[in-house]
Each structure stands twice: as structure tokens, then as C-alpha cells.
Structure 1
Amino acid sequence: MSEVLFYHMTQTRLEQTLPGLLERSLERGWRVVVQTTSNERRDALDAHLWTYRDESFLPHAAQGGSDAPDQQPIWITCEDDNPNGAHVRFLVDGAVHDDLASYTRAIYMFDGHDEQAVQGARARWKAEKEAGHDITYWQQDDEGRWQKKA
């Protein structure tokens, strides 16, 4: 079974949080898929990862682009695909993937100020627990640091 983490963002937004988590994933030698829910959001995240910080570079490509996905350590998609052979899957903006067993780790990231996102995360928690995955829940404290809650 996979390790499934739920990241409850209360102090920062996805655009502030995701790049650092992707950097840490690459430092560990992991290939990553980031799944979102729309082409527009996929393209916005793709653009953001090129510009989020001047001194940093996250090698990536997005579905619909001209780059070969199997050459990219980070693949951004709004589909269930995994063309870069990723072992880690980030699910953002309410994205779901029904078969996480092939991944070492899956991370659901959700906005704690969006009640629909919170309810969706609760439903996914229940589904992933029933699927037998090892689940942990992390929430930001008042300073934006991650605290393990469950």
C-alpha cells in the first residue's frame, strides 16, 4: 500500500507551498506527477513553476506541451496519466486518482479556507483509509509550519 498524506493549507496558498515540496521530492530522487482538475489550472501551475523564485529551477513539463514526458522529473497533468514513471503523485484543487497503489507516496493538498475542498479531503481520507493506505494528516500552524495531526 501507499503512504498517503493530506496537507491542510491554512496559512499559505498552493502556489506558495507546492514548489518547496516539489524541490524536496527532487532532492530525494523522486519523479513526480502533479494532477489538477482543469487545463487552465494545469497551465497556470506550469507557468508558475518557471517563475516562482528567481534563484530556483524546477525541471518540469505539462501535458499538452512539446516536451517528452518521460524525460521530465515533474509532470503536470489533469489526467490519470503517469508518463514519467513517477512514484509520487500530488493531487491538488480537488483532483482524485482511484488507484494510488502503484505510488510510493500520494499527497492531497487542500485549502482549509474552502469548505468544499475540506469536505472533498474528508471524503478522500475515508476512501484511502478503506483502501488500506498508510494515511497521515498535516496542518499548518499559525507560522505556516507543518504539524502532524493524525
Structure 2
Amino acid sequence: MARVDFYILPESGGQSRKQFACALTAKAWKAGHRVCLLAADRDRATEFDELLWTFRDISFVPHALVDSDAVGEVPVLIGWGDPAAIQNGITDVDVLVNLGDDMPPAVGKFDRIAEIVGGNADERQAARQRYRTYRDQGHELHNHSIDA
């Protein structure tokens, strides 16, 4: 079973889900993990592709979209849709950062899953449902309240 970490952002005045996802991805990469950011669709994946270049002035996170030729050469992948398709042939991805509001499929393929919960009511309700599903599946759950 995977370890699932829920990062609960403040209701207002704090980092956006996108900014926090970039910082968390950079931290996981620096710790030696291979990371997959899972966006809801290709447009959002492209947003994260751009954001990983600019979210901090002095940061660099080597990354590529999953349909890029560079997939095998970078430690951070940005995908959309089914993460099992992303992992097909890429067996060393161990951290999934779920950027969507839905339960990601094939969660058992990853050692760790990060769920970033934004401040609005709809995001929190969707996260509660994912939490219950992970719990019912027997995953190891951890909550982290992020201060503003």
C-alpha cells in the first residue's frame, strides 16, 4: 500500500495549490525521488510545465511532459489521465503528486502519493472523498496543515 500525504492549505492568504505543488515536487526531486505530477488534462499539464520553470527565481526542476522525447532523461514527469499509462515502461517513478480533484487510478503503482488540498469548499469536499477512498483501500494516511 502507498503512503498518502494530504497537504491542507489555508483557506486564504497562503500558497496556491500550483505553487505548493511545484515546491513539493522540487523537494521530492532533491531528495532523490522520481516524480509524476498528474494534472486533470493536457492544458493544465502544460501550465505546470511552464510553472516549474518560473515558480522561483533561482530554482530549476528538470522535467518533461509525458509525451516528450525527454521522458527517460528527466526525474520529473508531468502527465494527465491514467498514471498507469505514464508508468508503462517507466518503473522508477515512485511519487505521484495528484493535481486533479478526482481519485487517481492505479494508485498501487506508487510508493507515495501527495494530495494537495486547496482552500475552497469544493476542493476540500473532493479531498474528503479521496481520503475516505484511500482509507477504505488500506493506504497509510498522513495529514499536514500548511500555514499561510
Which 5+ residue runs of structure 1 have no aligned equivalent?
145-150
Residue correspondences, number:
140
Residue identity opposite 2:61 in structure 1:
L
Offset at residue 99 of structure 1 (A): 2.3
Q: Counterparts of 1:82 and 1:117 in 2: how far apart (Å)?
A: 26
- Asked if 2 retains the 8 angstrom alpha-carbon contact of 1:7 and 1:107, the reply is yes
Which 5+ residue runs of structure 2 have no aligned equivalent?
none
Offset at residue 89 of structure 1 (A): 0.2
Residue identity opposite 2:112 in structure 1:
R
Greater helix share, structure number:
2
Q: Where does residue 97 of structure 1 map in the other structure?
A: 104
- TM-score normalised per structure 1: 0.85
Q: Counterparts of 1:15 and 1:3 in 2: how far apart (Å)?
A: 21
**Structure 1 range deviating more: 82-91 or 2-11:** 82-91
- TM-score normalised per structure 2: 0.86
Instruction: Please tell me whether residue 82 in structure 1 is matched to residue 87 in structure 2.
Output: yes
Residue identity opposite 1:39 in structure 2:
R
Write out per-residue CA displacement over residues 39-95 of structure 1, whole angstroms, 9 at most, x where no aligned residue.
11110110111122231110000134x333122200001122225431000001314
Alignment of 1:32-111 (within 5 A): 32-64=35-67, 66-80=68-82, 81-82=86-87, 84=90, 85-111=92-118
Residue identity opposite 1:48 in structure 2:
L
Secondary structure of the structure 1 residue equivalent to 2:8: strand
Instruction: Please tell me whether residue 117 in structure 1 is matched to residue 123 in structure 2.
Output: yes
Q: Counterparts of 2:56 and 2:108 in 1: how far apart (Å)?
A: 33
Q: Where does residue 5 of structure 1 map in the other structure?
A: 5
- Asked if 1 retains the 8 angstrom alpha-carbon contact of 2:102 and 2:126, the reply is no
Residue identity opposite 1:78 in structure 2:
W
Q: Where does residue 147 of structure 1 map in the other structure?
A: none
Q: Counterparts of 1:139 and 1:87 in 2: how far apart (Å)?
A: 23
Residue identity opposite 2:19 in structure 1:
Q
Of the candidates 135, 138, 144, which is equivalent to residue 138 of structure 1? 144
Higher relative contact order (CA 8 A, sep 6+): 2
Quote the RMSD (CA, aligned, Å): 1.5
Q: Counterparts of 2:29 and 2:109 in 1: how far apart (Å)?
A: 19
Q: Counterparts of 2:103 and 2:72 in 1: how far apart (Å)?
A: 22
